[in-house]
Amino acid sequence: MIAIGCDHAGVEIKKAIIETLSVNGYEFKDLGTDGEPCDYPVIAEAVCGLVTSGECEKGILICGTGIGMSMAANKINGIRAALCSDSFSARYTRLHNDANVMCLGARVLGSGLACELAEIFLSTGFEGGRHQRRIDLVTALEEKNRKLK
């Protein structure tokens, strides 16, 4: 199950990605927005919540640049969100970073490229090995940050 959400800037790209998900047999939960103006952190929290709870295996977030969504998503413990605008990054953020959320910029990308990036992100596995140690270090940063509060 894939969680997907966007702000008002990302509605058309989200529709295109949902179409691609359906064609490729992915199940998804659409967390909005359907067009009404909204604040991207609210959508990021909703999508990431489904990923951290385990209800969804991965998330896709779209805003104008993808930057606001990625900033918001990466504040959430357990989320490794990658802002992608090229296929190499979409592939390697899965292979090496085990990214569980991908962020896309609707005002940066055409819908064809956005759909292709989503497909790469969803179909590429994590390589593990030495990369797991680095993921563990990233997770340890979350823990350290929690203790500072």
Site of interaction with ligand RB5 (CB under 6 A): 7, 9, 40, 63-65, 67-68
CB of 24 to ligand RB5, least distance (A): 26
Pick from 146, 98, 141: nearest CA to 121 = 98
Q: Which is nearer to ligand RB5, 110 or 128 (CB)?
A: 110
- In the bound state with ligand RB5, the residue whose beta carbon lies nearer, of 67 and 135, is 67
Selecting among 8, 38, 96, 131, the annotated active-site residue is 96
CB-count burial class (<10 Å; 0-12, 13-18, 19+) for 63: buried
**Which residue out of 63, 84, 103, 115 is catalytically annotated?**
63
What the block records as the tokens of 10 is 């990302």
Closest CA to 61 of 138, 126, 22, 117: 117
Q: DSSP string covering 48-98, please?
A: HHHHHTTSSSEEEEEESSSHHHHHHHTTSTT--EEE-SSHHHHHHHHHTT-
* 14/58 with CB nearer ligand RB5: 14
Minimum gap (Å) between residue 72 Cβ and ligand RB5 = 9
Q: Rounded to the nearest whole angstrom, what is the least distance from the CB of residue 42 to ligand RB5 in the complex?
A: 12
Check if 103 is active-site: no
Is 63 catalytic? The answer is: yes
Catalytic residues: 63, 96
